[in-house]
Amino acid sequence: MRRPPFAWSPSRRIVLSHGALALGAAATTTLFPRPALSLAARRPLLPSGVQSGDVGADRAIVWGRADRPSRMIVEWSTRESFKDARRVFGPDVVDETDFTGRIDLRKLPAGEDVFYRVAFQDLTDLSATSEPVVGRFRTAPERKRDVSFVWTGDTAGQGWGINPDFGGMKGYEAMRRTKPDFFIHSGDTVYADGPLQAEVAIGDGQVWKNLVTEAKSKVAETLAEYRGQHSYNLMDENVRRMNAEVPMFAQWDDHETTNNWYPQEILDLPQYTEKSVALLAARARRAFFDYMPIRIDQRDPQRIYREAKYGPHLDVFFLDMRSYRGPNSTNLQTTRSDATDFLGEKQLRWLKQKLVQSRATWKVIAADMPIGLEVPDGTDWEAIANGEDGRPKGREFEIAELLSFIKKRDVKNTVWITADVHYTAAHRYNPNKAKFQDFRPFWEFVAGPINSGTFGPNALDMTFGPEVKFQKTAPEGKPNQSPLAGLQFFGHVAIEGKTGVMTVSLRDIAEQTLYSVDLEPEA
């Protein structure tokens, strides 16, 4: 059936102003004639801005959300003027997806800036189409060139939400200003288990003032409440501006569902009426896929782990350390079993295969939890380390197997990046200082939080020999520092196209570089 005409004129220049990128239906309209007031009042709106993600050399996801049943339409061009723009008709968005939609743009030119604009056509009145919202991204290069990206985790946790008096989630603006090729959100993209209060007294007469929505007033249990966690973050102008200018690769961790969860868990918490974590996680996963610009694998629609090839110098492998784990426990099992799973056999096999196949200079493993930091869950353990500085046990078996495999197959230049612990650090894993020594030395860099409470430092487990080269944490005895303290962190990676040298820096939201190291690639 022929589509109704879509009245966009690509002949006039658009200005990528902050307002255009951040304000949804209030985006700049210099490209399009303004509708009459009566028509504008009934046009669809885009309350959450636009996003791009999972970008490669020839494809990228473009995401948008309408306020009513609509048809998604995207135009893209390699010219900011949108001259010779190509139009792609996307899905019909209805309440089943909370009016979110995505289009997988294909046959894009490699290594170029791509400008796109998203509009929605009202399904109840095909003559009513939203004003467009504009974004941009850069596709992965096919040839060697300079590449950079940022990463962090932990958004809107521990009671610290969007505070307009503070300037909102300012960490996202600090990341955007580095002009990265892409952004990795390393998990805890929302805090579905962390209700917000309108005001939080900090001390010294300071008060943190949150925007609070109905969904953020209780722990999330229903699908609508989980979706409300994601739509809340998109109320922030800094987040929307970042999303429109920088493509994202999203991971998840625990707080997208509930604190420290594992699939077999049955909750014993009074604030939850639904006790099955498996059911809560299913709803949380659906909301995550609805709101993140992630490419859905049609062969395995629930899969989050995946890879990204971003030019000759860089492959990134995104892990899912939540969905396939066994129960949190003392983590001291002396034999492998389902109870010691962390990545799970299928994901571990996938990662090994991808690392061996990679021809990139650098293989970055994006993990949502650190390797050697102790992360307790009451009297049990939440992450990999078990607090015993000995030979591998429990979940450490998988990591030992992976690290030995990397050494045996001579996989060079692996770097781990992670978040989760709410402070920033640089760790060098040294087999000469480890209880388990069958591995090549490697770096692990920790970043975050980006708009949550600051904690740390965590104790080190010496099974794999981590050495702290740098860390910045909350002051001793003063956990859960609010963003007002300035202890919000992200990591920045720059790879020089000519030499392949990787510079990793850890930064704060004042855009100060706290630590930096140049890593020479091993031939």
Q: Classify the phi-psi angles of 467: left when phi > 0, otherwise alpha if psi is within -120 to 50, otherwise beta.
A: beta
- Above 50 in pLDDT, residue 444? yes
Mean pLDDT computed over 210-222: 98
pLDDT for the residue 27: 33
Residue type present at position 515: Y
Burial 414-433 (b: 16+ CB within 10 A, else e): bbbbbbbbbbbbbbebbbee
- Taking residues 142-157, what's their average pLDDT? 98
| Residues 6+ positions from 335 with CB-CB distance below 8 Å | none
When the candidates are 3.40.605.10, 3.40.50.10860, 3.40.50.300, 3.60.21.70, the CATH number that belongs to 147-519 is 3.60.21.70
488-497 pLDDT, tens digit per residue, is: 999 999 999 9
Residue 37 has pLDDT above 80, yes or no: no
Dmax (CA) of the chain:
73
The SS3 call for residue 227 is helix
* Whether pTM exceeds 0.85: yes
CATH topology match: 18-138 vs 147-519 = no
Q: What is the pLDDT of residues 158-202, one digit of tens each?
A: 999 999 999 999 999 999 999 999 999 999 999 999 999 999 999
233 in Cβ contact with 156 (< 8 Å): yes
Which residues have a Cβ under 8 Å from the Cβ of 220 and sit 6 or more positions away? 192, 193, 226, 228, 229, 280, 283, 284
The CATH class that applies to domain 18-138 reads mainly beta
**∠ Cα 332 338 342 (to 5°):** 70
Domain borders along the chain are 18-138, 147-519
3-state secondary structure (DSSP) of residue 41: helix
Burial of 337 (0-12, 13-18, 19+ CB in 10 A): exposed
Quick one: pLDDT at residue 49? Answer: 98
